[in-house]
Amino acid sequence: MLSKTAARLACATALLVSPWLTAVPHAQTLTMGSALQRALAASPRLTAAERDVGIATGQRIQAGALINPEVSYEQDNSFGSGSYRGTKSAETTLQVSQLFELFGKRDARIAVGRAGVESAAIERKAVRLQILSETAIAFLNVLGLQRRIHILDEQVAALERLTPLLQRRVDAGASSPAETGRAEVAATLVKADRERMKASLSSARRELAVLLGDTSPKFASVSGRFDTTSRPPSFHAVIAAIDANPQLVKWNAIYAQRNAELLLARLKPYPDVRVAAGWRHFNDTNSDAVRLTLSVPIPVFDQNQGNILSAQESLAKTKAEREANRNTLIVIAGRAYDTVQGSLHELSVLRKSGIPKAQTVASEIEQGYGAGRFTLLEVLDAQANVAQARLREQEALQNYHVAVATIEGLVGNPFALARGNAR
């Protein structure tokens, strides 16, 4: 049920993805699928997370290692004076000793290491999910800016189409020569907006390129389906999905790790046993004997009280840390969800009435301008309204898809972002 809910939310982003996932280094057009694949392959953060798994694995292996035995050699009653001069009366002992851990200390250490590996593995999943979400958002920013620049190009072209008509009216004395300058100013302002947006596009392209492992863009443009949207599930369903986020799931492993650390701290005061066996040779009598030793520490003064308290507090802290992390994710998800809803409402208004009416009015005014029924100012205003309405639509679409990608980065599975294929 959870997967279906989250998958419906991810559908809008999935529609951006082309069915062809070829990733040629110098391809002219970059698809969502190619971008996601390249970002995962190039991400140093993901590489670092994978190394963390290796580090934790090594620590788990070391935690299970048995304590090495010790070999000692002793020589007594030698190099002294009198009868003890030289080594004639020496006593030599060769001994092997072994410390035996009791009360499950080794098992507790292994449990700590095992939980550490699990935590690192889950953290790797969280990093992977973040990379997918960030790359999708960067891709969408580039795509949205491309679309808006295209609209401005069309607005400039529309203004330039007025020039011949305006010149004929000026030649016929129906319009003032000043109107030519007014039209040129309008076109210049639109071109200025276009240049500003091109600068934003350049920055967005560079940000996407860095995520792909390049210092500069090696793609001419990005492509994807941008116009399709779908209704999101309830916010309750989104919150339920967030509980499966690796950033939250990892706290289960952290809790297990800290619980094992507490057990290990509590077991430390319990004494271990050291057993030693040796062979002793008496030079003066040329006799041999076996030496046996059993030693047990007495935990009178140091009972590991401080470390036990620290481990208890660390374990209790885990729940608060998870809740704080969850609250942060809920806030982020709430903002994204509100953006999704707001963008859908804005798109509905623009598509049902705003854009169609603006286009109809602009067409009527442009046609009537040649007949002298409307002024140039009215023509320019009508064209600007059409362009602004279309720009608002593209901005709302971009906000919608970015919000969806943000929510996808908060659910427990990447769904469409991981697969990178159209549905």
Which bin fits 94, alpha (ψ -120 to 50), beta or left (φ > 0)? Answer: beta
Q: Indicate the CATH number of 2-67+107-268+319-419 among 3.30.70.270, 3.40.50.1360, 1.20.1600.10, 3.40.50.620.
A: 1.20.1600.10
What is the chain's mean pLDDT, rounded? 84
Length of the chain as a residue count: 423
Cβ-count burial 66-103 (b if 16+ within 10 Å, e if not): eeeeeeeeeeebeeeeeeeeeeebbbbeebeeeeebee
Of the listed ranges 70-74, 89-93, 153-157, the least confidently predicted one is 89-93
Beta bridge partners of 293: 276
pLDDT at 289 over 90: no
Residue 292, classed as helix, strand or coil, is: strand
CA 7 to CA 250: how far, in whole Å? 22
Read off the pLDDT of residues 196-234 as tens digits, 9 standing for 90 and up. Answer: 999 999 999 999 999 999 988 999 999 888 888 888 888
CA 135 to CA 209: how far, in whole Å? 10
Q: Specify the pTM.
A: 0.80
Query: Residues with Cβ < 8 Å from 78, sequence gap 6 or more?
Result: 84, 86, 87, 89, 90
Residue 295 phi/psi, 5-degree rounding, is -130, 140
CA 362 to CA 390: how far, in whole Å? 13
Read off the pLDDT of residues 103-122 as tens digits, 9 standing for 90 and up. Answer: 988 999 999 999 999 999 99
* Domain edges within the chain: 2-67+107-268+319-419
96: tokens are: 């092997």
Confidence of residue 46 (pLDDT cuts 50, 70, 90): very high
CA quadruple 362, 367, 368, 374: dihedral, nearest 10 = 50
Q: What is the per-residue pLDDT for 21? A: 34
The residue-averaged pLDDT of 24-49 equals 84
In this structure, which amino acid lies at residue 201? L
Based on C-alpha coordinates, what's the Rg of the chain? Answer: 37
CA 213 to CA 363: how far, in whole Å? 47
Q: At which residue do the structure tokens 């990178």 appear?
A: 420
CA 65 to chain centre: 35
103: tokens are: 């009360």
Instruction: Give the chain's count of helices (H) and strands (E).
Output: 11, 6
Q: Shortest CA distance to 123 belongs to which of 225, 257, 305?
A: 257
Read off the pLDDT of residues 356-405 as tens digits, 9 standing for 90 and up. Answer: 999 999 888 888 876 778 888 888 899 899 999 999 999 999 999 999 88
CA quadruple 337, 341, 346, 347: dihedral, nearest 10 = 100
